[in-house]
Amino acid sequence: MTQPISGFSKKSKAEKIEWLAANYLQNTPNAVETLRKYWNEDAAVQQLHDDFIENTLSNYYLPFGIAPNFLINNSMYALPMVTEESSVVAAASNAAKFWLERGGFKAEVISTEKNGQIHFNFFGSEKDMEAFFEEVKPKLIESIQSIEKNMKARGGGLLGLSLVDKSHILDGYFYIHATFETLDAMGANFINSCLEQIAHTFETEAKDFELFQKKETYPEVVMSILSNYVPECLVRAEVSCKLDELTTKQYDGKQFAEKFVRAIEIAKTETRRAVTHNKGIMNGVDAVVLATGNDFRAVEAGVHAYAARNSYYGSLTHAKIEADSFTFWIEVPLAVGTVGGLTSLHPLTKLAFEILQKPNAKELMKILAVAGLAQNFAAVRSLVTTGIQKGHMKMHLMNILNQLQASKEEKNEAVRYFTEQAVSHSAVVEFLEKTRK
């Protein structure tokens, strides 16, 4: 059995790889070669990547693609997308082209407020706590003046503080709810720094509060942390057109719209459908979030919490038919940044922002919402017409061919053959066996 190791983070990259190969990769002769193969040839770029996290051994590549033809608020965009799922970029591109001919996407930011909490225990009188909070509140705000100086100069900073009593749910549990405007920064470090300073001031001032001293009962801070649930940081994107503009060779516009709206209603009603429905939305959102160096885990967490805000989990998108018009839209919380973090460090992230014409945070929110709406439109359109697998498996064909180590000529032949044939792993195996004979 491999023994635990101490001081691993202090070893050089070569020493870490050597240890890993000796202890966990004895039966993988090409392991070290594989790790080295994905190093960047530019030593400075590789060092930059090595510094992103601890114990870096190599780079894990994902495709960086482009979905063109997005008309958003009458401006044209090409969306950089980072994803491993074969059909995402194609679906987004197809949806963009479809709506380009029908007026494009409209998007607006509804609000940009972010928040965090100072969670604490207090087992004394609720009225005493309320009195203390009102007395100490100005000092709490004053205590972060130096931290928020630069943010305030740009028009952001702390917006408000409020006391929340949750002791009826969890004995002795209260929290201070803090709201912030962080402008073009995602703001996690700024918010957490503010919260920790406020918490320190809160506990310090509590020691001198007379009502607490008399009863020898003081608040105890448990933790201070921002929240990734940001329902007040909201963006809306929509598309609309006349029903007859939805008519194609394959389907009648009115019938298609009715089936589409019904599919959305099902996703609003049935959680099992809603989860997959929303996952498809996030295929588009996450791909652009990754390309722009933002935190897709934070975005995912906040979005899915928002989908369950009404005590059940439902669709993030909505659709309706009014008279002879079809409208499809999304409202989604998105706390993202265009400065700080990896946004100015990762070379491809910087390039992604150039491609997007250097958007600010609000503009990026709109772009992300549109990416999610486009992805969802493409998925639901497939589901209510041809079925999801026809297009998805066509895109998955190359993955299967690569798994089966097909040659360039075999790949070309397979692409031609499966243009008119259903794609499955067994069908591709059978095709290659016949071709190779």
Any residues with CB less than 8 A from the CB of 169 and at least 6 apart, and which?
none
**388-403 and 88-100 are packed helices; what angle lies between their axes, rounded to 10 degrees?**
140
Decide: 304 and 297 in contact? Cβ < 8 Å: no
CA 94 to chain centre: 22
Q: What is the mean pLDDT, run by run of 10 residues, along the chain of 437 residues? A: 90 94 91 94 93 95 97 98 93 97 97 98 97 98 97 97 98 98 95 98 97 96 98 98 93 96 98 98 98 97 98 97 98 95 87 97 98 97 78 66 81 77 78 79
Q: H or E element: which one contains 353?
A: helix 347-355
Q: For position 396, what pLDDT does the model report?
A: 67
Terminal-to-terminal C-alpha distance of the chain: 47
Question: CA geometry: angle at 435 spanning 432 and 437, to 5°?
Answer: 110
Q: How far apart are CA 95 and CA 430, in angstroms?
A: 33
Q: How far apart are CA 203 and CA 192, in angstroms?
A: 17
Helices (H) and strands (E) in the chain, counts: 16, 10
Q: For position 345, what pLDDT does the model report?
A: 86
Strands in 334-390 per DSSP E: none
Q: For position 205, what pLDDT does the model report?
A: 98
Question: Where do the structural domains in the chain lie, given as residue ranges?
Answer: 8-50, 67-110+234-386, 114-226, 393-436
Nearest-Å Rg of the Cα atoms of the chain is 27
Q: For position 198, what pLDDT does the model report?
A: 98
Q: For position 250, what pLDDT does the model report?
A: 84
Instruction: Give the CATH class of 67-110+234-386.
Output: alpha beta
pTM of the model: 0.89
Backbone angles phi, psi at 72, to 5 degrees: -120, 120
Task: Answer yes or no: CATH 3.30.70.420 is held by domain 114-226.
Answer: yes
Q: For position 95, what pLDDT does the model report?
A: 98
Backbone angles phi, psi at 60, to 5 degrees: -110, 110
Q: For position 248, what pLDDT does the model report?
A: 86
Q: Which residues participate in catalysis according to the annotation?
A: 85, 279, 295, 392
